[in-house]
Amino acid sequence: MRCPYCQYEESKVIDSRPSDDKKRRRRECLKCGKRFTTYEVVEQPMRIVIKRDGSLEPYDRNKLLAGIYHAVKKRPVSYTQVNAIADKVEETYLGGWHSQMTSVQIGTVVLEQLRHIDEIAYIRFASVYQDFKDASSFISAIAALNEENSEEL
C-alpha cells in the first residue's frame, strides 16, 4: 500500500475492523510515520442482464426497484416487502459468482413474490412483463390467478 503523503510503498496495519461490506484498516507509513485509512472490499463480477431481444445490460437494483414500485403504487405494500422481492431476485440469480441472468428470470421471481403479497400489483407487473396487448390478456391473467388461488385453498 503506497503512502498518500510520501509515496513510500511499505506501511503497517495499526487497526483493522469491519465497516459495512468493507474492511477498514488504519495504517502507518514506515518512512514518514503519518497515518492513513484504507478500505478493503471483495471484488464482485460484473452482473449482466440478458434482455429479451438478446442485448446485454448491467444489472441495476434501482431499475428493478423502480419497476416493482410502479406495480405496487397506491397498494398496501411496504418498503420492506419491495426490498425483500429485490433481495430474492439477487439471492436466486446473483448469489455466489453468477454474473448473468435473463430479464425473464427476473420477471418470473418478481411475479411469484408479488402473487403472494398483492394480487393487483401482481396483475400490474404482469401486464408490463408479459406485454399484454388487449383486454383478453388481462382476463386470462386474472383467471389464471383465481385458478391458482382456488387450488391453494
**What cell does 11 get?**
506501511
pTM, two decimals, is 0.62
CA distance 51 to 104: 8
Strand partners, 26: 15, 37
The pairing of beta strand 22-29 with beta strand 48-50:
unpaired
Per-residue pLDDT of the chain (153 residues; tens, 9 = 90+): 889 999 999 999 999 988 777 899 999 999 999 999 998 877 767 888 999 899 999 989 999 999 999 999 989 999 999 999 998 888 887 665 567 888 888 998 999 899 889 888 988 888 887 777 777 777 877 787 777 766 665
pLDDT (0 to 100) of residue 152? 61
pLDDT (0 to 100) of residue 145? 75
pLDDT (0 to 100) of residue 72? 92
pLDDT (0 to 100) of residue 65? 94
151, 152, 83, 147: which is closest to 113 by C-alpha? 83
**What cell does 112 get?**
411469484
